[in-house]
């Protein structure tokens, strides 16, 4: 999966929740309304696509502030 695939999944979840699409990578996840449960849903959808489980500490999720952080995080997680 490439970065744009992850962003597509994030926007799919945003749309499902009735929220506006993410504007750019610098956008704050808090301001965009991208919440921790949305993060988990994206993680599960990535798991389905890559065919393996992603495991990470809740603490690392709490350090995420921007859309870029989410994308970086999942890119690393996928590399495993």
Partner 1 sequence: MHTQNQSIIVSGGSRGLGLHLVSRLLEAGNKVATFARSHTAAMDDLSAKYGDAFYFTPLDAVDAPGVTAFVMEVSDRFGGLDSVVNNAAIGQDQLLMHTDVETIQRITNINIVGPTLLTRAAIKHMMLSGGGNICNISSICGSRGYAGLSVYAGSKGYLDAMMRALAREVGEAGIFINNVAPGFFESEMSSVLRPEQLDTIKRRTPSGSLSNDENIFKVVDLVISGTTNMQGQVVFVDGGITS
> Binding residues for partner 1, per CB under 8 A?
35, 37, 40-41, 44-45, 47-48
Question: What is the DSSP-derived secondary structure letter of residue 7?
Answer: H
Residue closer to partner 1 by CB (options 23, 44) is: 44
Q: How far is the CB of 16 from partner 1 (least distance, A)?
A: 9
**Smallest gap from residue 59 Cβ to partner 1 (A):** 15
Q: State the DSSP H helix or E strand holding residue 3, giving kind and residue range, or none if neither.
A: helix 3-16
**Whose Cβ is closer to partner 1: residue 41's or residue 69's?**
41
Q: Which is nearer to partner 1, 48 or 63 (CB)?
A: 48
**Concatenated DSSP letters of 25-64:** TTSBHHHHT--HHHHHHHHHHHHHHHTS-----HHHHHT-
């Amino acid at each position: 999966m490439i970065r744009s695939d992850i962003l597509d999944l994030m926007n799919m979840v945003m749309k499902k929740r009735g929220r506006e699409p993410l504007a750019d990578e610098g956008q704050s996840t808090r301001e965009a309304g991208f919440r921790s449960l949305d993060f988990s849903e994206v993680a599960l959808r990535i798991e389905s696509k890559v065919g393996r489980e992603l495991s990470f500490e809740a603490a690392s999720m709490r350090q995420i502030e921007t859309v870029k952080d989410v994308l970086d995080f999942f890119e690393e997680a996928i590399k495993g």
